[in-house]
Amino acid sequence: MQIYKGIEILGGMDPDCNIYLIDGELLVDAGTGLYFGDIKKEIEKLCDVSKIKTLVNTHCHYDHIGGDKKFKDWLKLSIAVHIADKKAVETGVGTLSELFGQTARVMTVDKTLRTDAIINTTNFSFVVISTPGHTPGSICLYDAEKKILISGDTLFETSIGRTDMYGGSQEQLVNSLKGLSALSIQYLLPGHGSPKKEGIDFLIKQMLNTLLTNKKV
């Protein structure tokens, strides 16, 4: 389903994350791979698959990276992950694959991402923002001109990502959300659930308030 001109939302069937296809050139997250066949068919209907060059993972959890290898085998694309989650993706340790009853597939990360890396497609220019908290290498992708934030499991339509699992940190999530609160965001494209249009600055303030009044940080 097109959610913004040039951006399709795919997948999202439990327990998969949302998969975003941007300009028919860039994929954001891969899901578990359990629904790979259906997602592949959807993508084939939408674009010339030979133009898809990169798959960016927003973080290392299995519901986002489990399908990486299948996409790589199919499209020969590059897998890009933030440096702090690279080892987890490559070894499987910290991907929480056991929670999904799966064994992580051994993967090689082709591109290591750091804060301020730029990921361009024909019509979009995303900057990588490091937002640790849910995992150490969680990232958001931000298009400043279009005011679009692809937020992975850092921020959802009405909530935030868990910080009580391997590598999680509530203190880091607070700092990450403070960083996001400085951005002008009109469209939030989260790793699970529905996208959100408008009211995102208020949502971030709300989430920060909740975290800070919990006094766990």
What residue ranges bind Zn ion (CB under 5 A)? 61, 153
C-beta of 193: minimal distance to Zn ion in Å?
13
Q: Which helix (H) or strand (E) is 91 found in, with range? A: helix 83-91
d(CA 72, CA 108): 10
DSSP string across 124-180: -EEEEEE-TTSSTT-EEEEETTTTEEEEETTB-SS-B---SSTT--HHHHHHHHHHH
Nearest residue (CB) to Zn ion, 61 versus 70: 61
Nearest residue (CB) to Zn ion, 121 versus 154: 154
C-beta of 66: minimal distance to Zn ion in Å?
11
C-beta of 48: minimal distance to Zn ion in Å?
31
Nearest residue (CB) to Zn ion, 137 versus 195: 137
Q: Which helix (H) or strand (E) is 87 found in, with range? A: helix 83-91
Residue nearest to Zn ion as judged by C-beta position = 61
C-beta of 150: minimal distance to Zn ion in Å?
14
d(CA 215, CA 217): 5
Nearest residue (CB) to Zn ion, 24 versus 66: 66
Nearest residue (CB) to Zn ion, 61 versus 105: 61
C-beta of 60: minimal distance to Zn ion in Å?
8
